[in-house]
Amino acid sequence: MTQEKKNNTVTGTKPICIQGYEGSFHQVAARHFFGKSVEVLPCASFRELVKKAVDPSLSAGAVMAIENSIAGSILPNYNLLQKANLQVIGEVYLSISQNLLVNKGVSLADIREVHSHPMAILQCLHFLEENKWKLIETEDTALSAKHVQQHKSKHVAAIASKLSAELFNLEIIAPDIQTQKNNITRFLVLQPSRKSIEVADANKASLYFQTDHSKGILAKVLGTIANGNINLSKLQSMPIPGSNFKYGFYADMEFDDISALHKVLQKIEPLTNSLKLFGTYKKGKPIKG
């Protein structure tokens, strides 16, 4: 059984929640993990995404952006993950490709306006500044592409994904227009925790812990992890709500043998507070969006 078919068995007949509209990079990530036939449930915000992802009557889970190679961690999403009853079962590293989309037959000389999300516009400023187009900020890249398709104008273009061009029958008049070519967003694949899904050949884990902030305690925790043959690939500090500048830590750990992870977790549990394992899964590889 292929990985795509295995992942599709997880969704069943329910859709996967994504932030944004159809054609967004969240949908691109969902397709890479679950296959092109996966049904998606668009959500206007990450808070709405988490709320619907835990409801089995609405969805089979979610794909949620957690960090970007340029902008860094999406800190509010870590807080949402901490409070939600969701399990991480996978990840997708998506190389973000921004493209200029137009209706069929439109030339660069025809364009007067370019519509897109403010972040997408910022990512493509070097290309956009070479022209004298009016830049219009919108709430979503995919929605901008849909707007171009619906209005059939030859004077309006959108910055969006290749998937948006496919879904809305638009032409990519200028591909890969982002200034920084190495722009990768990491997405977590989430399922309700009550399903307790075991991921075969898992070699990565995401977790959260707090310490009592006594002298040297964090160094002791990190030393225990290193001595357990575990690679700490990420450590993200976050303020503990209601405390006076005390911090908790989100960590990603990579391992060759899951038994090594279990041994390390047993050893650091007495050294930490609020230890929570979000899930074990297979490490993702960068893919083209």
- Looking at per-residue confidence, does 246 or 120 come out higher? 120
Beta bridge partners of 248: 210, 238
Looking at domain 204-280, what is its CATH homologous superfamily?
A: ACT domain (3.30.70.260)
> How high does pLDDT run on average in the chain?
92
Per DSSP, the residues of 12-49 read TTS-EEEEB-TTSHHHHHHHHHH-TT--EEEESSHHHH
What confidence score (pLDDT) does residue 221 get?
96
**Do the domains 204-280 and 3-95+183-194 match in fold?**
no
Supply 75's token pair: 């800190």
Per DSSP, the residues of 127-190 read HHTTS-PEEEE-S-HHHHHHHHHHHT-SSEEEEE-HHHHHHTT-EEEE----S-S--EEEEEEE
* Best CATH choice for the domain 99-174 from the list 3.10.580.10, 3.90.110.10, 3.40.50.170, 3.40.190.10: 3.40.190.10
Task: Tell me the per-residue pLDDT of 153-210, one tens digit each, with 9 for 90 and over.
Answer: 999 999 999 999 999 999 999 999 999 988 999 999 999 987 667 788 999 999 999 9
For the CA atoms of the chain, what is the radius of gyration?
Answer: 21
Domain extents in the chain: 3-95+183-194, 99-174, 204-280
- Looking at per-residue confidence, does 182 or 7 come out higher? 182
Q: How many residues does the chain have?
A: 289
CATH class in words for 3-95+183-194: alpha beta
pTM here is 0.91
Task: Tell me the per-residue pLDDT of 56-96, one tens digit each, with 9 for 90 and over.
Answer: 999 999 999 999 998 899 999 999 999 999 999 999 999 99
What confidence score (pLDDT) does residue 244 get?
84
Please tell me the distance from the alpha carbon of residue 74 to that of residue 67, in angstroms, as a whole number: 5
Supply 12's token pair: 């069943």
